[in-house]
Amino acid sequence: MGAFLERALPPTLALGGFLAIWEVLTRALDVPAYLVPPPSAVLAAALQEPSTLLVGAMTTGRAALVGFAFSCAFGILAAITLATSRRLERAFYPYTVFLQTVPIVAIAPLLVLWFGPGLRAVAVSAFIVSVFPIIANTLAGLRSVDPALRDLFRLYGASRLATLVKLELPSAIPEIVTGLRVAAGLSVIGTIVGEFVAGFAEGAPGLGIVVLTSYRQLRTDVLFAAVLTAAGLGFTLFALVNAVGRLLLRRWHASELSR
């Protein structure tokens, strides 16, 4: 318990201090609420419209999760495939970088055309934004297997599959987890951006839509609340991935020792 306090207290105090200064400054300088609302106003807005934010978080969270799940499955499989041969990697890896550099806002209209507005287009946007770090990190992990252990597997006549399952994947877990951590936050970002363009279809508007509408209505307090909710969503997903990673690595990997 003492250790928990020791860890939780500093960030809590920092946040409290930050909010207090923000509150005092906006009031003292008389900043118009449509520019920067004080934290108390943001909180009030959030309490006033709990269902808007909750529904928004559900919609956005669902799309982000779907996109993230596809990123995990496709990203890891793609990396395993690319890792089977240097030639394959040379042929296709440069184009996966494309996924990283493509301006998602610019192609989001295409996604609407292809997938129709709503969850599908939004999830694809989340997928595109978050898949590259998973491919890149998994590939790096699969490639950096201890060569002596590789020799050992060869010496004992291990099949390609056994080498993948018993050697390459386990030793790539730290890198895979790193990729997933980055992808978790990115998938929420990709979802919000996707919603800006493609999120207007369904009855339950996502947080991206809440941001857009509150902006048009100059409800900056609601906008702040929506942005914070989206950040919270990304953080939750990140924390989830982190917990899974810790569970997988805690007994053996340096990154999770001495915690």
Partner 1 sequence: MPRSGPLDAALSAGGLHSRLSDAASGVGVTLRGVRRIYPTGLEAVASLDLTIEAGAFVAFLGPSGCGKSTLLRLIAGLDQPTDGSITFSRAASGASVAFVFQDPHLMPWRRVLENAALPLELAGVGERDRKDRAMAALEEVGLADAAVRYPRELSGGMRMRVSLARALVTRPALLLLDEPFAALDELTRRMLDDQLRALWQKLGMTVLFVTHTLSEASYLAERAIVFSKSPARVVADHTLALPREREHALRSTPAFLAEEQTLYEALVRGEAT
Question: What's the min distance (Å) between Cβ of 97 and partner 1?
Answer: 30
Residue in 7, 27, 90, 154 binding partner 1, rule: CB under 8 A: 154
Question: What's the min distance (Å) between Cβ of 180 and partner 1?
Answer: 17
Q: Determine if 162 is a binding residue for partner 1 (CB under 8 A).
A: yes
Q: Which CB atom, from 40 or from 171, has the smaller least distance to partner 1? A: 171
Q: Which CB atom, from 146 or from 202, has the smaller least distance to partner 1? A: 146
Q: Maximum Cα–Cα distance for the chain, whole Å?
A: 75
Binding segment toward partner 1, per CB under 8 A, in 46-54, 151-159, 194-202, 206-214: 151-159
Q: Which CB atom, from 62 or from 253, has the smaller least distance to partner 1? A: 253
Binding segment toward partner 1, per CB under 8 A, in 29-37, 145-153, 203-211, 212-220: 145-153
Q: Determine if 236 is a binding residue for partner 1 (CB under 8 A).
A: no
Q: Determine if 27 is a binding residue for partner 1 (CB under 8 A).
A: no
Q: Which CB atom, from 51 or from 258, has the smaller least distance to partner 1? A: 258
Give one DSSP letter per residue of the chain, joined into a string: -HHHHHHHHHHHHHHHHHHHHHHHHHHHTT--TTTS--HHHHHHHHHHSHHHHHHHHHHHHHHHHHHHHHHHHHHHHHHHHHHH-HHHHHHHHHHHHHHHHS-HHHHHHHHHHHH-TTHHHHHHHHHHHHHHHHHHHHHHHHHT--HHHHHHHHHTT--HHHHIIIIIHHHHHHHHHHHHHHHHHHHHHHHHHHHHHHTTSSSS--HHHHHHHHHHTT-HHHHHHHHHHHHHHHHHHHHHHHHHHHHHHTTT-GGGTT-
Residue in 90, 146, 202, 243 binding partner 1, rule: CB under 8 A: 146
Find the angle CA(59)-CA(62)-CA(66) to the nearest 5 degrees. 145
What are the distances in angstroms from CA 145 to CA 149, 150, 167, 170? 8, 7, 8, 9
Q: Which CB atom, from 4 or from 156, has the smaller least distance to partner 1? A: 156
Binding segment toward partner 1, per CB under 8 A, in 8-16, 72-80, 156-164, 199-207: 156-164
Other residues' Cβ atoms within 10 Å of the Cβ of residue 44: 14
Q: Determine if 29 is a binding residue for partner 1 (CB under 8 A).
A: no
Question: What's the min distance (Å) between Cβ of 161 and partner 1?
Answer: 9
Q: How many residues bind partner 1 (CB under 8 A)?
A: 23
Q: Determine if 164 is a binding residue for partner 1 (CB under 8 A).
A: no
Q: Which CB atom, from 7 or from 250, has the smaller least distance to partner 1? A: 250
- Which positions lie near partner 1, rule CB under 8 A? 146, 148-149, 151-160, 162, 166-167, 170-171, 173, 251-253, 257
